[in-house]
Structure 1
Amino acid sequence: MLLEAKQIGFRYERDLWVLRGVDISIQSGEIVGLVGPSGFGKSTLCRILAGYEKPHEGQVLLHGAALPTSGFHPVQLVFQHPEKAVNPRWRMSRTLAEGGAPDESLLEQLGVQQEWLGRFPNELSGGELQRFCVARALNPQTRFLLADEMTAMLDAITQAQIWQVVKEVARRENMGVLVISHEKNLIHRLCTRVVDLTITNEKT
């Protein structure tokens, strides 16, 4: 399966182009790094790839077809700040079940404790909440995972644990992964290929 963006252009109202003429592709089973300076559109591109934003130019294709608009989305995005991605009125058990029944072994691998399931998001630490968001995104129906600085706020031990789980799931499920990080060591350790947005982005 292939996730690809073709000639993507995007700008906020009355602003200059954030993205222009951007091409990027991710194959199933591939871990791709996306690098570039702050403000150069990396997070915006992730939101477009996941269907949160519509480009003003170009298109995003999943295996040659438009992104689905209903049901569980096969392209999942994990943000740097997990509190923005969960409903504060839902208990964590409901958040996890949103895309289907959670995998118990996956929860254990990510260090998610059963006693947390009855809590609300504001009753968890940022690291605990991020573990939930990663678990929810690593659904068996997920074909591509977009990780936008998703471990930047975590300590080194937690980062290593989460990325090890992501790598194992990606390999087992033949899942494509896009990694955004300012940590060059992480990018080069994880990724099979790196895309530099300063080269492909022709914004003016």
Structure 2
Amino acid sequence: MPLIDFTDPAVIKFLVENYDRTARLRMKWNAFYGSKLQEAATLSRPEKGYTTYDVFKETMRGGMPAIRRDHITAGRNRKCIPLRDGAHIPAVADMKKGHSIVEVGLGDSEEDPRLARPDTDLSIDPLMRVIDPEQREMIYKELPFYGRKVYLKSRSKIPPEKKYYFSECSAWDYGWRLKDSYFSKNQPSYGRVWRLYRDVRNRSGPHPDPAHYNSAEIPNVNKCPK
């Protein structure tokens, strides 16, 4: 949009007329409603001289009866004997029964003596499995055929579930216990399967992950147990 040429006499005449019209409208409005505006701006009630402190004081005074009532009720409740809903409250020792690493089937107490503990032992479960003595000896043997790099290289060839009892980081979510998946149990005995190529080229296209791949959902009002 081009800019207005304020030097044009026609534009100057148009602006002057609009300014005059706006001024006349303002004067007309003040003539009609000036008295009402003056009446609304004038304090008609007697001034009591209240301050901010007086307002806060009256607000606090109004809440004092409720504070006095609650104090009496709290003093009466403090003298009452608390009721116990149950004679026994489950703790960590009760949660370990039936849920230990040995009972779940993730470890063996003969291979790892640290797992042979009573239910009263509340110490933390071990994170790593027992290291093979032959691999551990690689660290203490001479270079270049042994040492720290050779030890770490040999450990990297072992699946994570063979080194740890549980998945310790989010990077292990993909590939953890891969042999228990559907694809490993139904893999062909001979040859290779180009699964992605086959799914893309087929008539129905690639399919989503199976239902057992999804995370467990917490029951709520929308998902009632059947």
TM-score bracket relative to the smaller structure: under 0.3
Structure 1 or 2: more strand by fraction: 1
TM-score by structure 2 length? 0.21
Higher-RCO chain (CA-CA 8 Å, sequence separation at least 6): 1
